[in-house]
Amino acid sequence: MSKDIYTSIGEIIDFEVHLLEGEALSASMEIKVNDEYVIFGGQNLFSSIPNSGVDLVGHFIQRCFQVSAVDKTRDLEGHLLKVAIEGDFIIGIASLVNDDFFYPAQEFPKLSAIR
Protein backbone atom coordinates (compact mmCIF):
# COMPACT_ATOMS: atom_id res chain seq x y z
CA MET A 1 0.00 0.00 0.00
CA SER A 2 1.08 3.54 -0.75
CA LYS A 3 2.20 6.04 1.88
CA ASP A 4 -0.40 8.45 0.44
CA ILE A 5 -3.31 6.43 1.85
CA TYR A 6 -5.06 7.74 4.93
CA THR A 7 -8.09 6.62 6.92
CA SER A 8 -11.06 8.79 7.86
CA ILE A 9 -14.68 8.38 8.95
CA GLY A 10 -17.42 8.62 6.34
CA GLU A 11 -21.22 8.59 6.27
CA ILE A 12 -23.08 6.62 3.64
CA ILE A 13 -25.40 9.04 1.84
CA ASP A 14 -26.72 6.78 -0.92
CA PHE A 15 -26.33 3.32 -2.47
CA GLU A 16 -27.14 2.79 -6.14
CA VAL A 17 -27.25 -0.04 -8.64
CA HIS A 18 -26.61 1.09 -12.23
CA LEU A 19 -27.71 -0.47 -15.55
CA LEU A 20 -25.02 0.14 -18.17
CA GLU A 21 -25.84 0.00 -21.88
CA GLY A 22 -28.91 -2.12 -21.19
CA GLU A 23 -27.08 -5.23 -20.02
CA ALA A 24 -24.22 -4.74 -17.55
CA LEU A 25 -24.65 -3.78 -13.92
CA SER A 26 -22.54 -1.77 -11.52
CA ALA A 27 -23.09 -0.44 -8.01
CA SER A 28 -21.77 2.45 -5.98
CA MET A 29 -21.99 4.22 -2.64
CA GLU A 30 -21.96 7.95 -2.18
CA ILE A 31 -20.03 8.63 1.02
CA LYS A 32 -19.63 11.97 2.76
CA VAL A 33 -16.09 12.41 4.09
CA ASN A 34 -15.66 15.68 5.97
CA ASP A 35 -17.40 18.16 3.65
CA GLU A 36 -16.88 16.20 0.42
CA TYR A 37 -19.12 13.65 -1.29
CA VAL A 38 -17.08 10.80 -2.79
CA ILE A 39 -18.22 7.80 -4.86
CA PHE A 40 -17.02 4.33 -3.84
CA GLY A 41 -17.31 1.69 -6.55
CA GLY A 42 -19.30 2.40 -9.70
CA GLN A 43 -18.88 1.92 -13.40
CA ASN A 44 -15.40 3.47 -13.54
CA LEU A 45 -14.21 0.72 -11.19
CA PHE A 46 -16.21 -2.35 -12.24
CA SER A 47 -19.23 -3.80 -14.00
CA SER A 48 -20.47 -7.28 -14.81
CA ILE A 49 -23.13 -8.87 -16.95
CA PRO A 50 -25.56 -10.99 -14.91
CA ASN A 51 -25.22 -14.76 -15.36
CA SER A 52 -22.06 -14.47 -17.45
CA GLY A 53 -19.11 -15.43 -15.29
CA VAL A 54 -17.76 -13.53 -12.31
CA ASP A 55 -20.47 -11.58 -10.48
CA LEU A 56 -18.54 -8.49 -9.41
CA VAL A 57 -21.69 -6.52 -8.67
CA GLY A 58 -23.11 -9.20 -6.39
CA HIS A 59 -19.81 -9.49 -4.55
CA PHE A 60 -19.56 -5.69 -4.19
CA ILE A 61 -23.08 -5.49 -2.74
CA GLN A 62 -22.48 -8.44 -0.41
CA ARG A 63 -19.21 -6.98 0.93
CA CYS A 64 -20.78 -3.54 1.44
CA PHE A 65 -23.58 -5.19 3.44
CA GLN A 66 -21.08 -7.24 5.46
CA VAL A 67 -18.91 -4.24 6.31
CA SER A 68 -21.97 -2.20 7.29
CA ALA A 69 -23.69 -5.10 9.12
CA VAL A 70 -27.00 -4.52 7.28
CA ASP A 71 -29.16 -6.63 4.98
CA LYS A 72 -31.13 -3.96 3.09
CA THR A 73 -29.91 -1.01 1.03
CA ARG A 74 -32.22 1.41 2.85
CA ASP A 75 -30.36 0.57 6.09
CA LEU A 76 -27.08 1.78 4.58
CA GLU A 77 -28.09 5.46 4.53
CA GLY A 78 -26.60 7.34 7.46
CA HIS A 79 -24.33 4.44 8.42
CA LEU A 80 -20.84 5.51 9.54
CA LEU A 81 -17.75 3.59 8.47
CA LYS A 82 -14.00 3.90 8.09
CA VAL A 83 -12.79 4.85 4.62
CA ALA A 84 -9.32 4.39 3.16
CA ILE A 85 -8.56 7.28 0.84
CA GLU A 86 -5.88 7.57 -1.81
CA GLY A 87 -5.80 10.86 -3.69
CA ASP A 88 -9.41 11.71 -4.56
CA PHE A 89 -10.65 8.11 -4.32
CA ILE A 90 -12.08 5.94 -1.59
CA ILE A 91 -10.25 2.67 -2.17
CA GLY A 92 -11.61 0.71 0.78
CA ILE A 93 -14.22 0.66 3.53
CA ALA A 94 -14.39 -0.98 6.95
CA SER A 95 -16.68 -1.13 9.96
CA LEU A 96 -16.01 1.24 12.83
CA VAL A 97 -15.55 -1.80 15.10
CA ASN A 98 -12.68 -3.49 13.22
CA ASP A 99 -10.06 -3.00 10.53
CA ASP A 100 -11.30 -5.69 8.13
CA PHE A 101 -11.24 -3.43 5.05
CA PHE A 102 -12.99 -4.23 1.79
CA TYR A 103 -10.67 -3.18 -1.04
CA PRO A 104 -12.42 -3.98 -4.35
CA ALA A 105 -9.21 -3.65 -6.38
CA GLN A 106 -7.61 -6.36 -4.24
CA GLU A 107 -10.66 -8.63 -4.09
CA PHE A 108 -11.46 -8.31 -7.77
CA PRO A 109 -8.18 -9.09 -9.56
CA LYS A 110 -9.53 -7.76 -12.86
CA LEU A 111 -10.08 -4.33 -11.33
CA SER A 112 -6.39 -3.63 -10.87
CA ALA A 113 -5.93 -3.51 -14.63
CA ILE A 114 -8.94 -1.20 -15.10
CA ARG A 115 -7.98 1.31 -12.40
pLDDT tens, per residue, the chain with 115 residues: 456 999 999 999 999 999 999 999 999 999 999 999 999 999 988 888 887 777 889 889 999 999 999 999 999 999 999 999 999 999 999 999 999 999 998 888 754 444 4
Give the Cβ contact number of residue 15 at 10 Å.
24
Strand spans (E) along 1-115: 5-20, 24-33, 36-41, 80-86, 89-94
